[in-house]
């Protein structure tokens, strides 16, 4: 009985498709959708549990679980695992947001907030996914949502959606595109792992096991530079990492510049420049991208980015977005990036971008050095001057180049996958628009 359902754009799209006498079927004809029951989380240690991915972690380019659940205590636990190629559709909050699972999602319990979509015929998987990612598909799913504060959609709603039929050749084209997207994301994960493994092997660091609960810090160390009084900044484990480097240089000394632009008031408009927030940059299939009006902005040059630059999120929780770094490509140059991103302009003559990225993001040898610089309580922040002071391990140039090769190839594959995702959604949108504009048979 919600009036919003009948006022939404998706309702009009749905009526227009259903008004056609042929050329379309119900979604249930091409695919089935299911949703596991709500999960009761019985937490255990990693060595005794199965990794759990919540809604945001599923969309991470590199899904990293923070919880491990007891599989034997999880209702329908096996049905919550997904295989590579499984289509996942959010059933609550950002209703309809979709992704295809990669190897990184395998073996993990995926949140019950995702519906699992299984095509009736495997060769139709590409078109089914493309339809879900299309503007019209997204609009129809939003038009079917219910509830007020947290929106929901059920498998039954998805089953009733009208979907145009396509030729076998067009279905094959979409299927091949989706397979290529998944392959590129798998490649990106593989190359990243190779870069990090080579970096760790070259450092030769072995994590200490018996770290005392308390530790002492000399007053002279506290008085240096920023006079950091937080205990985590002086954590012996972080100091042990730095000591293992042997040779290291501050990030600011081996780059051209580390800075952030001024904060700005975002004025959105359809005729503006495509905009990415920090969350958009560090997520797969960013949801509902907007355009921001920047014409006449005086310090516009401070916001523009170049390929092979590195951006780092300067705020957020230290277990999440804060300190995340990404190597930019030509794909990102088309966007106006948020002021919440610290810009790092590498100097390739001193250190290649891919090597710097690995040194900053390695889970055990890089990220701890970054997040210890965060300050603040509710929402911790990073300052460019602190980021510029982060020590970067220096290795033999040929080793650094090998690490950079892997990292830069990973970034390239990831960017290509994102670009292909956008093209896939646009192509599906054109197919649906052509169907709606075609004269009646």
- Of 3-7, 30-34, 192-196, 428-432, the poorest mean pLDDT is in 3-7
Domain for residue 320, yes or no? yes
How confident is the model over 302-307, as a mean pLDDT?
Answer: 89
Using the structure block, give the residue that is written with the tokens 């495509």: 274
- pLDDT tens for residues 355-402? 999 999 999 999 999 999 999 888 999 999 999 999 999 999 999 999
Domain for residue 29, yes or no? yes
Secondary element (H or E) of residue 193: helix 168-203
Are residues 355 and 402 both part of a single domain? yes
Judge whether residue 8 has pLDDT over 80.
no
403, 354 Cβ separation under 8 angstroms: yes
Domain for residue 275, yes or no? yes
Where residue 339 falls (left for φ over 0; alpha for ψ -120 to 50; beta otherwise) is alpha
| Non-local CB neighbours of 215 within 8 Å, separated by 6+ positions | 234, 235, 236
Q: What is the CATH number of the domain that holds 364?
A: 3.90.220.20
Structural domain span for residue 244: 191-409
- pLDDT tens for residues 80-133? 999 999 999 999 888 899 999 999 999 999 999 999 999 999 999 999 999 999
Are residues 260 and 304 both part of a single domain? yes
235, 221 Cβ separation under 8 angstroms: no
Are residues 235 and 336 both part of a single domain? yes
Are residues 161 and 218 both part of a single domain? no
Are residues 93 and 16 both part of a single domain? yes
Distance CA 402, CA 384 (A): 28
Domain for residue 392, yes or no? yes
Are residues 237 and 95 both part of a single domain? no
Are residues 379 and 318 both part of a single domain? yes
Are residues 93 and 240 both part of a single domain? no
Instruction: Return the pLDDT at 7.
Output: 59
**How many structural domains is the chain composed of?**
2
Reported pTM: 0.91
**pLDDT band at 67; cut points 50, 70, 90:** very high
Distance CA 136, CA 151 (A): 18
Pair of tokens at residue 324: 């995340």
**pLDDT band at 5; cut points 50, 70, 90:** low
Are residues 134 and 201 both part of a single domain? no
Q: Are strands 325-327 and 310-313 parallel, antiparallel or unpaired?
A: antiparallel
Instruction: Return the pLDDT at 80.
Output: 92
Instruction: Return the pLDDT at 85.
Output: 95
Domain for residue 91, yes or no? yes
Domain for residue 157, yes or no? yes
Q: Calculate the alpha carbon distances from 11 to 7, 156, 391 in Å.
A: 7, 16, 55
- Encode burial over 171-205: b for 16+ CB neighbours within 10 A, e otherwise: bebbbebbeebbebbbbbbebbebbbebbbeebeb
Looking from the CA of 58 toward its CB, the CA atoms found within 13 Å total 26
Domain for residue 417, yes or no? no
How confident is the model over 251-262, as a mean pLDDT?
Answer: 95
Between residues 299 and 404, the one the model is more confident about: 404
Are residues 115 and 156 both part of a single domain? yes
């Amino acid at each position: 009985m919600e009036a919003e359902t009948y006022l939404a754009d998706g309702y009009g799209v749905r009526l227009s498709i259903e008004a056609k006498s042929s050329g379309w079927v119900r979604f249930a004809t091409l695919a089935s959708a299911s949703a596991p029951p709500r999960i009761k989380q019985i937490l255990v240690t990693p060595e005794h549990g199965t990794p759990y991915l919540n809604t945001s972690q599923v969309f991470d380019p590199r899904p990293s679980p923070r919880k491990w659940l007891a599989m034997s205590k999880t209702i329908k636990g096996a049905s919550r695992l997904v295989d590579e190629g499984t289509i996942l559709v959010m059933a609550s909050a950002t209703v309809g947001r979709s992704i295809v699972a990669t190897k990184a999602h395998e073996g993990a319990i995926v949140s019950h907030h995702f519906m699992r979509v299984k095509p009736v015929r495997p060769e139709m998987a590409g078109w089914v996914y493309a339809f879900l990612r299309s503007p019209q598909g997204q609009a129809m799913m939003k038009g079917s949502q219910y509830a007020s504060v947290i929106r929901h959609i059920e498998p039954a709603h998805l089953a009733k959606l009208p979907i145009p039929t396509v030729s076998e050749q067009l279905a094959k084209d979409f299927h091949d595109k989706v397979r290529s997207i998944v392959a590129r994301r798998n490649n990106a994960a593989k190359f990243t792992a190779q870069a990090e493994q080579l970096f760790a092997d070259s450092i030769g660091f072995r994590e200490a096991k018996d770290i005392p609960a308390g530790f002492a810090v000399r007053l002279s160390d506290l008085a240096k530079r920023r006079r950091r009084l937080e205990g985590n900044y002086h954590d012996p484990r972080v100091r042990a990492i730095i000591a293992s480097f042997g040779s290291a240089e501050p990030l600011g000394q081996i780059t051209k510049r580390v800075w952030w632009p001024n904060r700005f008031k975002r004025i959105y408009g359809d005729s503006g420049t495509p905009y990415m927030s920090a969350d958009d940059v560090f997520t797969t299939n960013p949801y509902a991208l907007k355009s921001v009006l920047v014409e006449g902005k005086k310090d516009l040059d401070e916001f523009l980015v170049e390929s092979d630059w590195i951006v780092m999120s300067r705020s957020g929780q230290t277990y999440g977005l804060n300190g995340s770094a990404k190597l930019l490509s030509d794909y990102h140059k088309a966007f106006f990036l948020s002021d919440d991103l610290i810009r790092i302009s590498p100097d390739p003559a001193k250190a290649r971008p891919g090597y710097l990225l690995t040194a900053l993001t390695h889970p055990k040898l890089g990220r701890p050095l970054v997040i210890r610089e965060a300050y603040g309580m509710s929402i911790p922040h990073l300052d460019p001057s602190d980021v510029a002071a982060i020590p970067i391990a220096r290795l033999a140039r040929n080793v650094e180049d090998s690490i950079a090769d892997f990292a830069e190839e990973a970034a390239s594959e990831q960017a290509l996958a994102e670009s292909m995702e956008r093209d896939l959604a646009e192509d599906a949108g054109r197919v649906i628009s052509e169907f709606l504009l075609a004269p009646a048979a």
